[in-house]
Amino acid sequence: MLDLSWYQKIFHFEITAIKNYSAGKSLMGYKLVDLSLLRTFKIVGKSYVSDFRNFRVIAPRTNVEKIENSDIFFIIEYRNHYNIFKKLQPYLNDKGVKFLGVIINPVLSAQLTQEPYLIDAGSILPFSTSVSTLRHKVAADLFYLVKGFRLDAIKQGLILNSKFFSLSNYYTKLGAAISTKNPKPIVFFRIDGYKDRSIALAGKQNNSELICIQHGSVVKHPKFSSAIIDEYLSWSDHFSGFITGSGAGCKTIAIGSVEFDELFEAASNLGKASVSNKIKLLVMPPSGKSLSLASDKDLMIELAAGLDSNKYLVTLKPHPEDDNVNTLEQAKRFGFEYLNAGAKVLFENFDFVVLNNSTSGIEAAIFKKPLILISASINNIVVKHYLEEGVGIFATNSDELKLGLSSIENNYETFQEKCQAFTENYLTNHGNATEKVAEYLSSKICVGLPA
């Protein structure tokens, strides 16, 4: 039996899953009963390559002064985190706040090397930190190999260590480096990732105030439980309720969405829309890497391909995290229009939007575009408020899809009204959230840390 107590605070949700693990079930995305030891070694080998990229061991330690001179830090892992950070910059500058973004994703860091107000995590920690972390990783892997009495236990230990545990040491030290001198607020964009939890834990120990800005749709889910942060800035009271109901244990503040501010302005300039003669359908399949299944992507494309091409003009827009090169080929094969994964979506150019658990459903609702949620089972729909609020219909096969599309087409105005009601209930401070968030963050610096 593996000793997991050391990681309990950082991997609260993951460890619960491990304790409930039984043969035949998936663990961290892998079904161990079907995973050979050779395949396990390949996964672990790739993790070492990834670690070297994460550690950036040749990066010069040049940003200590920037750390000391900043009032507040933002932890940035993904492009959408950076997009929110960038939108906040002019507001924070106007308030005289000295801010700094710390990138913990080497791929994103390479893309944003020339951007101001950013530093790479690898330029903060000394070379010795990377070496000690790799040493810990090697020692742990050897331990699992030598001490594992069952093949499943060996594979379990190697997989967990390769995906999470050794790197948590690195990011805990990163958090300590940021927060050790004159503790200052640290802002996150997620509370369920092991990197963020590791940094947050170190910040908590050094009395930094920890704040998370909601960056995507959230639901009541165990992965948000026992959050290490102090405050969660949500899009509305509804989302605050989801976080509280998940057992996060932090203060929640309904403040609005920085991401959607500009959308409200664009949507307000549009007149009353009606369905096009040839209905324009935007299909947004999931990546299969988060709340949705990869199999739902194929189902979504398959059902869209079965529609009458004389009545429907289908545009396929893959998820930004979709690494399946076949998506473009599928669009060509079925005669779909195609939008690149990173392209900006102009929802006003479409009549209906097809997805399942995507935050894009909220963006579509802002433009009063009804939704069609497609999945093999209603149980796979985690973001249930789309259906509960009546902004869309659910389909699991071709007949249900056609009936649903017909229902929306015949009641288009009613669905639009429900879309408007939905955005009013689920988003606050329409068009003014960025200013509100900047005001709140700057107040933390002016007032200082609570006693």
Separation CA 160–CA 43 (nearest Å): 11
Query: What angle, rounded to 10 degrees, do the helices at 127-147 and 166-179 form?
Result: 150
pTM of the model: 0.79
Q: What pLDDT shows up at residue 132?
A: 61
Domains, in order of start, for the chain: 1-258+429-451 (3.40.50.2000), 265-426 (3.40.50.2000)
Q: What pLDDT shows up at residue 4?
A: 46
Q: What pLDDT shows up at residue 324?
A: 56
Q: What pLDDT shows up at residue 257?
A: 96
Q: What pLDDT shows up at residue 388?
A: 93
Q: What pLDDT shows up at residue 450?
A: 43
Q: What pLDDT shows up at residue 329?
A: 81
Cβ–Cβ contacts within 10 Å for residue 36, how many?
Answer: 10
Cβ atoms of 351 and 307 within 8 Å: the answer is no
Q: What pLDDT shows up at residue 406?
A: 94
Cβ–Cβ contacts within 10 Å for residue 204, how many?
Answer: 19
Q: What pLDDT shows up at residue 438?
A: 97
Going residue by residue through the chain, which has 451 residues, state the pLDDT in tens, using 9 for 90 and above: 344 454 455 455 555 554 554 444 554 454 555 556 666 667 667 666 666 665 554 444 456 667 778 899 999 998 889 999 999 999 999 999 999 999 988 788 888 877 889 988 877 766 556 666 666 666 656 655 555 545 555 555 555 555 555 566 667 777 878 877 667 899 999 988 778 888 888 888 888 999 999 998 888 888 888 888 999 999 999 999 999 999 999 999 999 999 999 999 888 877 667 788 899 999 999 876 666 677 888 899 999 999 999 999 999 998 877 655 677 888 888 889 998 877 889 999 999 999 988 889 999 999 999 999 999 999 888 888 999 999 999 999 999 999 999 999 999 999 999 999 999 999 999 999 999 999 999 999 854 444 3
Report how far apart, in Å, the C-alpha atoms of 118 and of each of 61, 79, 213, 219 are: 14, 13, 18, 31
Cβ atoms of 359 and 216 within 8 Å: the answer is yes
